[in-house]
Structure 1
Amino acid sequence: MAFYCYQKNVVLLSNSYNYESIDLPDTIYKCSTLITLDLTCCKFDDEFSIDWKFLKTLKLNDIKLHDYIIVNILSGCPALEILEFSEFCGLRHLEINSSNLKRLKFEVYLSYYDDSDDPSLNIIALDIQHLEISEDMYDLKCRLVNVSSAVSAKLNFRMSCTSIAQGASSATCPDEHQVIRKLIQDYLQKLSNVTELTIGTWYAEVPMQFEEMSLSELKCKCLTLDLRITKFYFYGAAILLKASPHVETLNITMTTTLMDPRRCAFELEYLAKEHDIHFLSSFGFSNLKNVKVFSSLKMCLKGNLEWENDDLLKLSEFILKNATVLEKFIIISKRKTCKICSMKCASRYSLRLAEKLVGFSRSSTSSVIICQEGAFSD
């Protein structure tokens, strides 16, 4: 493999049919001209040192990591600003001391490559401003030891209890979910000062597990609920909104990601329950000015044209009743015909949702409801 040290932007991945890892070329370790580096299915030498003094962005994909590897990498990348892990395993302790590194992302944990009985990852990143944890983390417990400088965070991941991830007895489910509950509470406490926060569907599910679940007051001004339209949990979303009294802009994105079939007995039980929402009348949105509802590009909404159990409708009605300074409630959908049902189902759904909301009572007399088409294209 030829590699020339004057290159600045490099993407290196295994071309093996079986995605077998390849050894990094020796010359890459001392390539001081690198600005961006994207590595997939690569192996680091056990005794390596690097000189990436100008490197700004590093992406590590499908690589089995060890703590010492990351220590060596960070020591050789003094200018690094963005660090991303995708399809990773093996990492247990990540401590970032560089004031230049501002963005940190984790996406997909490879549990089947990890033989630990209790996989966990402690994260210390005092100067990180943007944190993202996405997709399936399985049973990995990421613990935010210190991320006190974060101003934005995206928590769009899900976890599985050990009865699913490791085949343990279902009798351990309640204890395992208590651990998950405390972990989620700690996340939101450690990130309570961020100004922009994105929360995924799984976070809306977790409060449904417990009748009493207190969350730290969130200071965020822009909140995004990134949720599945087929399982939009009104109860969990309302709890998250209750913890966010400073929100000025609320974005609700709807996708068609299928429900994960791997559900333990504990989860199946609470998902089937009716949840008490009496607390909804006890709080309002004193700062909320703008709401935007986005439909996914490839979403089929034909099955959501019935309104009896539409949680988005319930949540929208609740917002209109309690947002005292609301200015705009915007519903955005694509214009083109759906490839799944051959109808303009997203447009029909959005239009009917807007028509229903116009008829609901509103605490803000100056608010307007807007339905937009063609905001996205295929």
Structure 2
Amino acid sequence: MQEKITAGGDRLSDLPDPILIHILSKLWDGKKQVVRTSVLSTRWRFLWMSVPVSLNFTFPDSEKQNVTLDYLSSTHRKLYYYKSFEKIRRFSVWGLRYEERYAKDVDLWVHFACTKVEEFTLGLLCINDQIYEFPQFAYKGKMLKNLVLKNLKLNPCVNCSLVSLEIGYVKLTDGVMEKVLSGCHNLECLELEHVSGIHRLEISSVKLRELTIRDYYDENLEILAPYIQHLEILGKGSEIRIEQRNVASLFYAILRLDFDFEDEERNLEKECSYLKELLHGVSHVENLELGSWCIECLSILELKGWQFPLSSRKFLELNIALEQSDFLGICSFLQSSSDLETLAIDCWDNHNARDTLSRYTNEDEQTRRFETHNFNGSFPHLKTIKIDNFYGSLSENKSVLSLVKYLLKHATVLENFVLAASFLGSDVSLDYVKMAQEILSFPRSSPHASVVFSY
């Protein structure tokens, strides 16, 4: 055996190229060490050029021209070094205070990206209304798959091979957006952040399955996307219209919007009316996530006597700071989800107190209404309940325990109930121990329910 190893020579070098490249990629934090492997033998001479790397350049926050020029020169020198590489996994440039005199510099980055890069991010700062126009040639690169563009002028794509496109802080038109989509035949994911100028987003591609819209501040936006499966509407902004017939294939919807309730009464009525439309539009969706604005509106709608539309959802996640005032809305909403199998509640610390319900009722009144409310029916399919990031003392969370008791009472086929608490410091709060004991003492309608309080 020893003779065979000696005769075989360098067994490491006998490994296939993909394995050796993978080994080198693990050493990439020390770039010089990777390059030095080229002197080991002719077998290793060019392997380092095939190691996929990530390049990130963030311009210093300075208005001084010499600082910008120095960083530009440094960036170009580094790119010249990397031109020998066969492939760059990720390449990002952030924060250049763009002026027209830098157009050729940015062109150089774009040309580099479309010839060697899989994922390219270009985020500029607009100065004196000078905006970089993303060039047409950039779309011709067959290697470029993921593209992120912020603060520039977008030209329509032509037969590009992009799989993912993210556009941010860009002025568009319906016509430009239509041409962008028609030119990206392989696009699977589209994200629009703080864009303006489009009022009708029509997506007819069968391949494009994920759509994210964040902070849309323009006039109302109508979405027509019959093949979209995953939709996220996030942040502040204007109303985005969706109807079941326009998103018939939708499987997962995330609604984490944020509107200002502190304006006039009519604005609150308008926003609640908007949530009604959204809930009707996603009532066929199997997986749904709601943010705090939606949940606060649920409580207001419940207080006004609105009947939530019946749904076919099987998974529901609520992202909220658990408050007594929310429980009636949450429970009434759950009653419209008879097919629900999994309920997840992700708690977070709400630094900005929400006092919208105080216009209609006080906390004591809401507590009394919750404790005396007669919720008809049960949850015949609910098997899993999980509350994450739970925090606070027993005295602060008496109302939450009422919600836990309600869920255990009405989930007739429950299998797993997990309340995962977090705490500060190294010592477990004695309150958590008491809380765990109290929760474990609650009656359960399901004989198979496992209740776990973890911390």
TM-score class, shorter? 0.7 to 0.9
Residue from 64, 73, 84 that aligns with 2:191: 84
Conservation of the 8 A alpha-carbon contact between 1:31 and 1:52: no
Give, in whole Å, the separation in 1 of the partners of 2:201 and 2:123. Answer: 24
Structure 2: tracts of 5 or more residues without a match: 1-105
Partner residue in 1 for 2:328? 235
Give, in whole Å, the separation in 1 of the partners of 2:404 and 2:320. Answer: 14
Structure 2 residue 293 is matched with structure 1 residue 202: yes
SS in 1 for 2:316: strand
Give, in whole Å, the separation in 1 of the partners of 2:325 and 2:438. Answer: 18
1:43 Cα deviation from its structure 2 partner: 1.5
Conservation of the 8 A alpha-carbon contact between 1:128 and 1:147: yes
Q: How does 1:1-378 map to 2 (within 5 A)?
A: 1=106, 2=108, 3-4=110-111, 5-6=114-115, 7-14=117-124, 21-44=131-154, 48-109=155-216, 111=217, 114=218, 119-137=219-237, 140-145=238-243, 146-160=246-260, 164=263, 170=264, 173-174=265-266, 176-210=267-301, 211-229=304-322, 233-259=326-352, 268-270=358-360, 272=362, 274-275=365-366, 276-277=369-370, 278-295=372-389, 301-302=391-392, 304-307=393-396, 310-334=398-422, 338=424, 342=425, 351-373=433-455
1:271 Cα deviation from its structure 2 partner: 6.5
SS in 2 for 1:13: strand
1:184 Cα deviation from its structure 2 partner: 1.6
Give, in whole Å, the separation in 1 of the partners of 2:332 and 2:122. Answer: 44
- What's the RMSD between the two structures over aligned residues? 2.8
**CA 1:365–1:108: 2 relative to 1, 3 Å:** same
Task: Report the residue type matching 1:291 in the other structure.
Answer: I
**CA 1:325–1:92: 2 relative to 1, 3 Å:** same
Give, in whole Å, the separation in 2 of the partners of 1:256 and 1:18. Answer: 39
Per-residue CA distance 1:53-103 (angstroms, 9 max, x = gap): 321101112223322221121011011110011233333111111111100
- Structure with larger RCO (C-alpha < 8 A, sep 6+): 1
Give, in whole Å, the separation in 2 of the partners of 1:260 and 1:71. Answer: 42
Give, in whole Å, the separation in 2 of the partners of 1:84 and 1:287. Answer: 34
Task: Report the residue type matching 2:327 in the other structure.
Answer: F
**CA 1:30–1:241: 2 relative to 1, 3 Å:** same
Higher alpha-carbon deviation: 178-187 or 210-219: 178-187
Give, in whole Å, the separation in 1 of the partners of 2:312 and 2:335. Answer: 12
Identity of matched residues, %? 26
Give, in whole Å, the separation in 2 of the partners of 1:284 and 1:141. Answer: 34
Give, in whole Å, the separation in 1 of the partners of 2:151 and 2:350. Answer: 27
Task: Report the residue type matching 1:131 in the other structure.
Answer: L
Conservation of the 8 A alpha-carbon contact between 1:78 and 1:98: yes
Conservation of the 8 A alpha-carbon contact between 1:331 and 1:350: no
- TM-score, normalised with respect to structure 2: 0.67
Give, in whole Å, the separation in 2 of the partners of 1:39 and 1:260. Answer: 35
1:236 Cα deviation from its structure 2 partner: 1.5
**CA 1:365–1:267: 2 relative to 1, 3 Å:** closer
**CA 1:328–1:76: 2 relative to 1, 3 Å:** same
Give, in whole Å, the separation in 2 of the partners of 1:19 and 1:359. Answer: 65
Give, in whole Å, the separation in 2 of the partners of 1:220 and 1:363. Answer: 22
Partner residue in 1 for 2:55? none
Task: Report the residue type matching 2:272 in the other structure.
Answer: R
Per-residue CA distance 1:213-244 (angstroms, 9 max, x = gap): 11111111111111123677111111221111
Structure number with the higher helix fraction is 2
Structure number with the higher strand fraction is 1
Bigger-Rg structure (1/2):
2
Partner residue in 2 for 1:167? none
Give, in whole Å, the separation in 2 of the partners of 1:16 and 1:314. Answer: 52
Per-residue CA distance 1:273-317 (angstroms, 9 max, x = gap): 634345443221111111111107xxxx34x4314x644222111
Per-residue CA distance 1:93-145 (angstroms, 9 max, x = gap): 11111111100111223x4xx5xxxx2111111100011112223xx111103
**CA 1:249–1:132: 2 relative to 1, 3 Å:** same
Pairs aligned (count): 337
- TM-score, normalised with respect to structure 1: 0.80
Per-residue CA distance 1:177-220 (angstroms, 9 max, x = gap): 33323322222222122111111122221133242111111111
Give, in whole Å, the separation in 1 of the partners of 2:294 and 2:377. Answer: 20
Conservation of the 8 A alpha-carbon contact between 1:148 and 1:190: no
Task: Report the residue type matching 2:378 in the other structure.
Answer: G
Structure 1: tracts of 5 or more residues without a match: 165-169, 374-378
